Chain A
Amino acid sequence: MSALSDLLRRAEPTHISGYLWAYLDAATKREIRRALLKAVCVPGHITPFASREMPVARGWGSGGLQITLATVVADDVVKVIDQGDDDSLNARTMRALIADCSGVATTTDARAATLIQTRHRIPEDDLGDQVVLVFQVPISDPLREFEQRPMAARRMHAERDYAAIWLGLYEDHSRLNRSRFAHSYPCEVEGGYIVSSTPIPRFDVPRLHQAPFLSLFGAGREAAVYAIPPYTDVVPITFTDRPFETEAFDGPCASCGSTGSYLTEAVVDGHPALVCSDTDRCRRRQAEEAAR
């Protein structure tokens, strides 16, 4: 799409009466885009920005929403998931808000989306380079657990001083014989900064490595963004003799039979069972199975 036609489409009246196209004013969008450009240029760097108050509460995805609304263009196709599910309440609310104030098309099919705002998951489908992933981030700094003073943590990042994380990892392995990190596993980006793989499970972490898509992370409450550009090394930190472990599941998805997907608890036919957390792909697989 040309820049001109994009601008013309943006001049259309907003779908929420009294608000601008994509909610944010132009100056705010520009500011957030600048922060994002910096974040992309310095992969993994926690980049501060003047987080705005959004019509969702702080801590409910206001950072991801600001990124989405600052980057969305008129011909985007938007998918929003929470826990991998397009139909969870939070995802529905967020998707309706994005669509209402911008008029963009929405989808539940990750393969058709050009912009995916997500909380806690990466869709199971193979994603190409046409899509941008926007992650909602609760706690942006992997050092937070070890250093509560933000200014001190900032200095540690600047000096690549991650001894505290490594020491914590060492203590885990010596006491527990494994890492205690569950989700938000700390990852080294392109040999530089260590980032929090914000609460996506470890299962999804390998998919960030050399991913064809751009990943943008927004923490509204903490007023920070960071990014992982396409085709970037993302390495979960671990000792050379201690392999990184992803979540393990007993058996396949009870609904679609998938063995290679992240499973969460659900009730199938009245019994507790493990099913895919990516509900759209799971449904698609079931439909394909039924058609066969």
Chain B
Amino acid sequence: MYTTVRESQGAIDASARLAREQRERARLAGDGDRAAAVGALVPLLVDQVMAEAGVVEPAVAAKAVEQARGDVSRAVSLLRSWVSCLPREGTATAGWDEIEVERRITPAFSEPAGGQFLGASLDYAPRLLDLGEPARADGPADDQTGSPADGADGPDGEGLGREGLGGMEPGGEESGGGAAAANGDPLALPRATSRLEERDLIAAAEPTEPVDVTRRSSAAGAGRGAFAQFLSRAETGALTALAYTAVREGPKQADPTVVELRAGLLPVTVAHPRTGGPVLVGSVPVTTCELVLYHVQVDSTGEHTDSRFTLGYGATAGRVERRAISAAMLDARVTRAAASEPGTARPPSDDAEWLITALDGQEATGFVEHLKLAHHVSFASDLDRVRAVGAVGTRADGGSDAAGNAPSGPPADPLTDEPADASTDQPTPRGE
């Protein structure tokens, strides 16, 4: 386990090695197929695209990344518009407890019930750019990244996982189960937050009902469930930036602590259309996070204080973990703001409506980039007003100040005084 093997470095090195080996295995599997090669080379990029699209289909997402030449926004657009064409056949709910855990860390508690599992992660490896020869395709990853402590593990990845990670097996693909299965019982990994809940240290929050914002006009006003889904699809950079502003506000306001980060495969079970019985249709890679904000709530009378933590929950498809952490942060901030005095000024990170207008990457990049389109009709309209309003200013100035040629004089008529080449700045392609 993380906390018990930290001293030896074994778990940390093994975690990084596991991540590299997974990549190498995937790369070998994807030989000859460009999209599969993309998925193997940049799995976290594909994860990010799937998460922002709200679509888990790794092979198609890898194609989208390739066809978008690596532009995340465009790849998300390709993926979302592809899914727009597909009918929605059903819904399923799945719980936190059902995740086949590949990774579980609990920064708030050093020794949670069930233990911590690093899984495959580069978090703990030094960020040293490797300029050496790329690994050869004709063999497993070499041992250059392993520490001497790994020697006993042998070349077998599974043995490495068991030895280094306290019972965890690497990934769910071959073993069919992660840490939870290794422990024999999924319930062996209770939510770490339940420790706090049992002691009534978590403030009550709005109950969460699942809402599909893709089948609504907007996530605004649709409750915490809709907001959670919105955050799970939010643009990674914007999501991170806003969560960052919330942290930056300082511990006096709301000190966040991640209670638990859990990643793995979430089985998806739907009702059979005929029999109604449960059918396992697949597993979705997910990362979930629960964090708490510390703050002391004092009402205007100064009498009633609430010092319980505010719980934030975030989830995302894939393994880009800052997405889940950021979503949990913003969920907590919005929950806390909702419980605070009405009329209190809110920073953007606390305002669900503000976040909903800003964090969808497709809306943001689409609108910003549409400014590249021709605007000469509306701009001519602007120019018309510039001229008219400028003419008013001239008349007013003319009465009090005769210096008509001063810099503050009448502006040049932009429709007639522009040099010829200026008008060709944005040529509109004409027909043949």
Contacts and interface: CB of A to CB of B under 8 A. Distances in A.
Contacts of A138: 367, 370
A182 B217 contact: no
Interface stretch (B267-275, B289-297, B423-431): B423-431
A149 B353 contact: yes
A114 interface: no
Nearest to B356: A150
Contacts of A119: 373
In this complex, which of A24, A53, A177, A271 has the most chain B Cβ atoms within 10 angstroms of its Cβ?
A: A53
A63 B357 CA distance: 17
Interface in A182-216: 182-184, 199-203
Contacts of A20: 85
B376 A265 contact: yes
A121 B369 CA distance: 21
Nearest to B428: A88
A53 B367 contact: no
Contact of B373 (A49, A84, A90, A181): A90
B389 A58 contact: no
Given A52-B81, A224-B217, A57 B370 contact: yes
In this complex, which of B74, B81, B392, B422 has the most chain A Cβ atoms within 10 angstroms of its Cβ?
A: B81
Contacts of A54: 81, 84
Contact of B357 (A62, A82, A150, A199): A150
A221 B423 CA distance: 31
A274 B84 contact: no
B257 interface: no
Interface in A7-27: 19-20, 23-25, 27
B384 A247 contact: yes
B418 A272 contact: yes
Interface stretch (B97-105, B248-256, B358-366): B358-366
Contact of A59 (B85, B353, B363): B363
B217 A223 contact: yes
Interface in B209-252: 214-218, 220-221
B87 A82 contact: no
A24 B375 CA distance: 29
B77 interface: yes
B203 to A, nearest CB: 24
A93 B384 CA distance: 30
Given A58-B367, A90-B373, A250-B415, A201 B381 contact: yes
B41 to A, nearest CB: 26
B403 interface: no
Contacts of B215: 50
B359 to A, nearest CB: 13
A277 B378 CA distance: 11
Contact of A57 (B77, B221, B389): B77
Nearest to A251: B416
Interface string B195-209: 000000000000000
B388 interface: yes
Contacts of B80: 53
Given A57-B362, A150-B218, A274-B415, A24 B384 contact: no
Main secondary structure, interface of B, reads helix
Interface in A54-72: 54-55, 57-60, 62
Nearest to B376: A264
Given A25-B86, A274-B415, A176 B392 contact: yes
A267 interface: yes
A83 B376 contact: yes
A82 B220 contact: no
B420 interface: yes
Nearest to B353: A149
B373 A50 contact: no
B306 interface: no
A221 B367 contact: yes
Contacts of B366: 57-60, 62, 221
Nearest to A18: B85
Interface string A260-288: 00111111001110100101000000000
Nearest to B380: A264
A106 interface: no
A247 B392 contact: no
Contacts of A49: 217
B381 A183 contact: yes
B125 interface: no
A112 interface: no
B85 A24 contact: yes
A290 B357 CA distance: 53
Nearest to A62: B366
B25 interface: no
Contact of A151 (B74, B221, B362): B221
A257 interface: no
Contact of B423 (A180, A247, A266, A277): A266
B341 interface: no
Contact of A82 (B77, B374, B389, B418): B374
Contact of A277 (B357, B367, B376, B384): B376
B142 interface: no
A144 B354 CA distance: 13
B339 interface: no
A249 B22 CA distance: 67
A277 B430 CA distance: 12
A19 B78 CA distance: 13
A177 B391 CA distance: 11
A183 B424 contact: no
Contacts of A245: 388
A187 to B, nearest CB: 15
Contacts of B34: none
B377 interface: yes
A27 B84 CA distance: 11
Contacts of A150: 218, 220, 353, 357
The 4 closest A-B pairs by CB, nearest first: A58-B366, A48-B217, A53-B80, A59-B367
16 contacts: A19-B85, A24-B84, A25-B87, A50-B217, A53-B84, A55-B81, A57-B370, A83-B376, A150-B220, A182-B382, A201-B378, A203-B381, A247-B380, A247-B381, A264-B377, A272-B422
Interface of A: 19-20, 23-25, 27-28, 48-55, 57-60, 62, 82-90, 92, 119-121, 138, 149-151, 176-178, 180-184, 199-203, 221, 223-224, 245, 247-248, 250, 262-267, 270-272, 274, 277, 279
Given A55-B77, A223-B217, 6 more contacts: A50-B215, A57-B77, A58-B362, A86-B431, A199-B378, A272-B423
